Amino acid sequence: MVKGRFITLEGIEGVGKTTHLAFIADYLEARQYPVLITREPGGTKAGEAVREILLHGKEIRIDAMTELLLMFAARAQHLQEVVIPALAEGKIVLCDRFTDASYAYQGGGRGIAQADIRILEQLVQQELQPNLTLLFDASVQTGLSRAKKRSEADRFESETIAFFERVRQTYLERSRNKPDRIKIINAEQTLPAVEQDIIRLMESFL
Ligand code: TMP
């Protein structure tokens, strides 16, 4: 039985997800909620090994369908080993990316049919969906220029502007289709303004 709550963070590169995730964790912990922080691809030993191949295996050839299957392989392990047990214990699971990223990157970005992604989603997740998804939205120009300042570009960060435009549009379209779950936060704002929006959304969610 699922008792906890599953919150995911999404957005293109450079929208500050990692900083915002730490802020949300502090906000929840200050209110005595048990929190588990995790990420995809990753969150388990197997998942982190897959992440290494996906992000940093620049010499390894991976086609779009292989990429999608690896994302879902890491996800299957993550759900069984980490997410489902934590939810059963009543924790709030804060996950840096989840299946919306597969729709945005492998669907929008790489052009895999949404219906094919849906098949894997059902196979791996059955009915499990995040209770809340915060979509941090910024222009591709803003996101990429921030991401470039951070570190050497990984396999996704090396993609074209057009790729990220498709990723962003797919995220926005999903949020329009699932407005109760996927909430957009304008990540172009100052950090305090973003944090105010996060607090407002968390207050209405909790
Ligand atoms: P990040 O967590 O540091 O943002 O990096 C993860 C990268 O993996 C990011 O570029 C998005 C990508 N990704 C997908 O393409 N599909 C997925 O399903 C997930 C979870 C991530």
Task: Please write the tens of the pLDDT for every residue from 19-55.
Answer: 999 999 999 999 999 999 999 999 999 999 999 999 9
- pLDDT of 119: 98
**Whole-angstrom distance, CA of residue 71 vs CA of residue 49:** 11
| 205 C-alpha to ligand 1 centroid (Å) | 25
| 39 C-alpha to ligand 1 centroid (Å) | 9
**Whole-angstrom distance, CA of residue 16 vs CA of residue 77:** 26
| 80 C-alpha to ligand 1 centroid (Å) | 19
| 31 C-alpha to ligand 1 centroid (Å) | 30
* CA-nearest residue, atom 18 of ligand 1: 102
- Please tell me if the CB atom of residue 40 comes closer than 6 angstroms to any atom of ligand 1: yes
Residue listed under structure tokens 């879902």? 72
> What is the overall mean pLDDT for the chain?
96
Express as a percent the part of the chain with pLDDT over 90: 92
Q: Using an 8 Å Cβ cutoff, are 7 and 24 in contact?
A: yes
Exposed / middle / buried, residue 10 (Cβ in 10 Å: 0-12, 13-18, 19+): buried
- Segment 66-91 mean pLDDT: 98
User: Of 53-67, 86-100, 149-163, where does the model show the most confidence?
Assistant: 86-100
16 — pLDDT class (breaks 50, 70, 90): very high
- Segment 76-91 mean pLDDT: 98
Task: Please write the tens of the pLDDT for every residue from 167-176.
Answer: 999 999 999 9
Q: Which atom of ligand 1 is nearest to the CA of 17?
A: 4
- pLDDT of 2: 61
Strand partners, 196: none
- Please tell me if the CB atom of residue 15 comes closer than 6 angstroms to any atom of ligand 1: no
Tally of domains in the chain:
1
Residue listed under structure tokens 């492998």? 106
| 56 C-alpha to ligand 1 centroid (Å) | 12
Domain enclosing residue 115, as ranges: 5-205
User: CB neighbours (10 Å) of residue 164?
Assistant: 25
pLDDT for 76 beyond 90: yes
- Segment 178-206 mean pLDDT: 97
Strand partners, 136: 185
Assign residue 28 the CATH number of its domain.
3.40.50.300
Task: Please write the tens of the pLDDT for every residue from 127-171.
Answer: 999 999 999 999 999 999 998 888 788 999 889 999 999 999 999
pLDDT for 1 beyond 80: no
Name the residue of 67, 105, 167 to mutate for ligand 1: max ligand atoms within 8 A of Cβ. 105
* CA-nearest residue, atom 9 of ligand 1: 156
- Please tell me if the CB atom of residue 68 comes closer than 6 angstroms to any atom of ligand 1: no
Two tokens, residue 159: 């993609």
Please tell me whether residue 186 adopts helix, strand or coil conformation.
Answer: strand
